[in-house]
């Protein structure tokens, strides 16, 4: 942590404590002037999503209300949603970061940006739009769903860039192939966000659409998508360290781990006004990458998101991340990127069944299943029941895919 970052963090904390109730309460008894080093900073308590929920509706607001121009809300799939207030400067800063993302992906004002993430309370669509407009590109603000209309507009407008979740990009790619309209599609790049996705899925989307793909990262609590993106070298994602401070911790102990070690990403905002966050636990699994990127971009990198720390499941006493299953399948020739895991408890034993899609004919699947079983045993240390199914048999979704079904509880 350099001096400038520390100074920004202190200013941020001071503002948050003076102008808002959330950190005034949370950091009561903490003297900002005592934070002199990175070590001091690391002693500050974490902020978790549950804390933000308790502040519902506007408890996170850290500026006088006349400065707030908009709110966004994270999906309330598990109870009370989180409301994040934005000032005009926050909205601008977000667009600046998003424009940087597009520039890293090589977009120009001549691009036509087809935006399929949703608009409204959540941050996706409008974030993609503001960044593209700031760049000077032409926005085609589709929003999600209605595949017929998507493909029609994509052809008629000559969309050159597709912004989508990975599962929706895959669905569109498969439809384009099915309808034989690939030669009428002008897409060159895909900016794909919001979900963890495997290398195989990435390759399938890239091949079927014939485009270069970029992973974009973000979360509503921290502006929204656009705080990090992969570059042409596809080795992690650059993030904007003049706006955000990233740490990686051991999700169990809360201690910082060395660079390069897998753990939970924790983010501190450096300039956010409406709702600054200090040491916010994302529950996203990644690592800090070291060394310069061959693309020459001066911003530091994290690895692509390898999963959620809460996705960790314990089967037969072994901790498993879905990312490991994906990686394991990737290493067995003949398997496709789509998979699904069922965990059951029968006769006192855990049973993990891994369904995966393959293009191989029935008579070759027995050997393939044997190979998957053996590789899983070596790699993850667990005995599974492999089940090969045909391409397209596993469900696709426009929303975040659920791939692991734990039927034990």
Residues 6+ apart with CB under 8 A from 146: none
Q: Min. distance of Cβ 293 from Zn ion in angstroms? A: 3
Q: Min. distance of Cβ 238 from Zn ion in angstroms? A: 6
| Cβ pair 220, 73 in contact under 8 A | yes
> b/e map of 289-306 (b: 16 or more CB within 10 Å)?
beeebeeebebbbbbbbb
Between 41 and 217, name the residue whose CB sits nearer to Zn ion. 217
Between 205 and 231, name the residue whose CB sits nearer to Zn ion. 231
Binding stretches for Zn ion (CB under 5 A): 231, 293, 295, 297
| Cβ pair 394, 362 in contact under 8 A | no
Give, rounded to a whole angstrom, the gap between the first and last alpha carbons of the chain.
43
Q: Min. distance of Cβ 215 from Zn ion in angstroms? A: 12
Smallest CA-to-CA distance from 114 within 54, 44, 176 is with: 176
Q: Min. distance of Cβ 229 from Zn ion in angstroms? A: 9
Q: Min. distance of Cβ 131 from Zn ion in angstroms? A: 18
Report helix, strand or coil for 234.
coil
Question: Using the 8-state DSSP alphabet, how is residue 361 labeled?
Answer: -
Between 45 and 291, name the residue whose CB sits nearer to Zn ion. 291
Between 201 and 231, name the residue whose CB sits nearer to Zn ion. 231
Report helix, strand or coil for 348.
coil
Q: Min. distance of Cβ 111 from Zn ion in angstroms? A: 20
Residues 6+ apart with CB under 8 A from 312: 251, 319, 320, 321
Between 229 and 384, name the residue whose CB sits nearer to Zn ion. 229
Q: Min. distance of Cβ 233 from Zn ion in angstroms? A: 5
Between 233 and 405, name the residue whose CB sits nearer to Zn ion. 233
Between 297 and 371, name the residue whose CB sits nearer to Zn ion. 297
Report helix, strand or coil for 288.
strand
Between 157 and 295, name the residue whose CB sits nearer to Zn ion. 295
The beta strands (E) that lie in 54-103 are given as: 68-74, 82-87
Burial class (CB in 10 A: 0-12, 13-18, 19+), 18: exposed
Q: Min. distance of Cβ 232 from Zn ion in angstroms? A: 7
Residues 6+ apart with CB under 8 A from 144: 116, 117, 118, 168, 398
């Amino acid at each position: 942590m350099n001096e400038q970052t520390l100074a920004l963090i202190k200013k941020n904390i001071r503002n948050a404590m003076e102008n808002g109730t959330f950190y005034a309460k949370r950091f009561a008894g903490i003297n900002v002037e005592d934070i002199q080093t990175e070590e001091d900073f690391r002693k500050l308590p974490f902020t978790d999503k549950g804390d933000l929920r308790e502040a519902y509706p506007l408890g996170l607001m850290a500026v006088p209300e006349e400065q707030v121009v908009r709110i966004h809300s994270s999906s309330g799939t598990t109870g009370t949603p989180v409301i994040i207030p934005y000032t005009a400067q926050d909205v601008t800063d977000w667009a600046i970061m998003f424009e940087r993302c597009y520039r890293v992906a090589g977009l120009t004002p001549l691009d036509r940006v087809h935006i399929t993430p949703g608009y409204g309370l959540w941050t996706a669509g409008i974030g993609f739009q503001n960044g593209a407009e700031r760049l000077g590109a032409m926005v085609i603000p589709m929003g999600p769903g209605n595949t017929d209309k998507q493909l029609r507009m994509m052809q008629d407008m000559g969309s050159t860039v597709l912004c989508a979740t990975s599962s929706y990009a895959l669905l569109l790619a498969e439809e384009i192939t099915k309808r034989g309209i690939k030669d009428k599609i002008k897409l060159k790049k895909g900016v794909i966000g919001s979900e963890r996705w495997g290398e195989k899925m990435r390759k399938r989307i890239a091949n079927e659409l014939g485009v270069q793909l970029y992973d974009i990262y973000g979360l509503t609590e921290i502006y929204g998508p656009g705080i990090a993106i992969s570059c042409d070298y596809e080795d992690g994602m650059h993030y904007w360290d003049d706006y955000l401070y990233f740490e990686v911790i051991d999700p169990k102990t809360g201690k910082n781990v060395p660079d390069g070690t897998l753990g939970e990403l924790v983010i501190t905002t450096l300039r956010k006004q409406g709702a600054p966050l200090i040491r916010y636990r994302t529950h996203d699994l990644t690592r800090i990458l070291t060394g310069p990127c061959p693309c020459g971009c001066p911003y530091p990198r994290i690895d692509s998101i390898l999963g959620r720390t809460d996705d960790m499941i314990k089967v037969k006493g072994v901790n498993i991340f879905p990312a490991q299953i994906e990686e394991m399948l990737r290493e067995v020739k003949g398997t496709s990127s789509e998979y699904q895991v069922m965990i059951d408890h029968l006769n006192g034993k855990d049973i993990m069944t891994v369904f995966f899609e393959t293009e191989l004919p029935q008579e070759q699947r027995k050997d393939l299943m044997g190979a998957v079983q053996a590789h899983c045993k070596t790699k993850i240390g667990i005995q599974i029941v492999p089940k090969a199914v045909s391409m397209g048999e596993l469900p696709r979704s426009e929303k975040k895919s659920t791939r692991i079904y734990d039927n034990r509880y």
